[in-house]
Amino acid sequence: MIRASTAPIFAPPPGAPLSFADIFDKVSPAVVSIDVTSKVDPRAAALGRIPGLPFELQPKGRGGQGQGQGQDQDQGQGQDDGGGDAPAAMSSGSGFFISADGYIVTNNHVVENAAEIKVILKDERELVGTIVGRDEATDLAVIKVEGRGFPFVDFENSAKPRVGDWVIAVGNPFGLGGTATAGIISAYGRDIGETFVNYIQIDAPINRGNSGGPTFDIYGRVIGVNTAIFSPSGGSVGIGFAIPATWPTPSPNS
């Protein structure tokens, strides 16, 4: 007689969630995709700008952080020297509601040169966004859409997850809205050569288009705003950076 084992085939380590599905179901309605139409300087193409991609491809010898999500958006909007219309460029990013009346946090570099902003909700509604405020130093921005009753999430600015704690990132990588990835906090206080020097490092995969999207703890609280990646290839290699929620973060009243 062969006795069947009643032990589970796989037992997750203590503290590990059996699944991130409940967290995703809770927070994902508050996460949005942001499509931006910008007027750009034709000379930007010489610096590696490819229309349709939200981030600049750096020429060799420029910068030291590989493909950084925080380094897109040229400053040549409308400067075509010829007086004619500058060409339009399409780009995409992520964001999340912080209030029921339509305020959304994203990265400044996602929207700073925007001529038009389209916000796409999880239920596929498309709304027009307007910039309320933005801060280049922290790379944070707030936009607003008209309406009420939007699902929203809160920043976690009291409890601080430890290095090694689980996190989940939700966003719009490569235009694939509603994408969830999971990983851990790898480090705090990273300096990646930007004005802001206190990034959280995470290994949850983030890619082009995740900029401005949230990173959550296992309770569904926002612990960071995804901003940049380190990557020699342009894709995720497990080194991402987020602005921590403990930093003064935007609110509808600020």
Residues taking part in catalysis: 109, 139, 211
- Report the distance separating Cα 132 and Cα 143, nearest Å: 5
Smallest CA-to-CA distance from 196 within 71, 83, 93 is with 71
DSSP conformation letters of 29-82: GGEEEEEEEEE--GGGGGGT--TT-SS--PPTTS-SSBS-GGG---S-TT--SS
96 touches 72 (CB < 8 A): no
Smallest CA-to-CA distance from 234 within 75, 54, 105, 76 is with 54
Residue 193 has a CB neighbour count (10 Å cut-off) of 12
Q: Alpha helix (H) ranges present in 29-140?
A: 108-111
- Report the distance separating Cα 241 and Cα 205, nearest Å: 10
Q: What is the SS3 assignment for 182?
A: strand
Smallest CA-to-CA distance from 148 within 99, 183, 203 is with 99
Residues linked to residue 39 through DSSP beta bridges, in sequence order: 88
